[in-house]
Amino acid sequence: MDALDPATVETLRWLRTAKSPGRYELRDGERTVALLTFARHEGSLAEASTASESWTMKRVGFVHPQVSVRTAAGSPSTVGRLTIHFRRSLFERPGRPARFLERAGVAVPAWEARDLEGQRLFHLEPVAEGRELAGGLVSVEPKGRSAEDLLLILNLAWYYVALGWAEEELAASAASALVALS
């Protein structure tokens, strides 16, 4: 895996490289700069890694869902938490600036990361093949290039998008199976 040079990056792309369990690569041109791999086809545990760091991510809670972020597999300490809300979620880390992850629009399936002042760090747009998630395009803003936690936020945002999409795929499959049985 290669290191990302945030100063020069403008466009990145996520590619789905395995379907079950989901595995995604973040690419800068032809170079892989991050990986996101779900532990199982069903479930929310995933590992994200870059050339220099790795984290685990897991959604917890139902009424008030959150995604906990920990360093490396099996670590007991949470280094960050994404508190999920319908349109605008908040990512907080001790000693670091908070970030917002929000829908780009009500009818638009794209997401944006913003700082507390509302400046956009990046825009993330999923790409589908039929009903399946094939990948995503990321436009990194100048403000995002200077964020020291850019790769963590990119991984977390993609985790959130990919998990939601996988759950929709499972629900659609279950609904189709029920219709076939009736």
Q: Show me where the domains of the chain are located.
A: 11-181
- Give the global pTM: 0.90
Report DSSP state, residue 165.
H
Instruction: Please state, in angstroms and rounded to a whole number, the distance separating the CA atoms of residues 153 and 29.
Output: 19
At residue 45 the predicted structure's pLDDT band, cuts being 50, 70 and 90, is very high
pLDDT, tens digit (0-9, with 9 covering 90-100), for 69-97: 999 766 778 899 999 987 899 999 999 99
Cβ pair 44, 51 in contact under 8 A = no
Residue 165: predicted pLDDT: 86
SS3 per residue for 35-55 = EEEECCCCCCCEEEEECCCEE
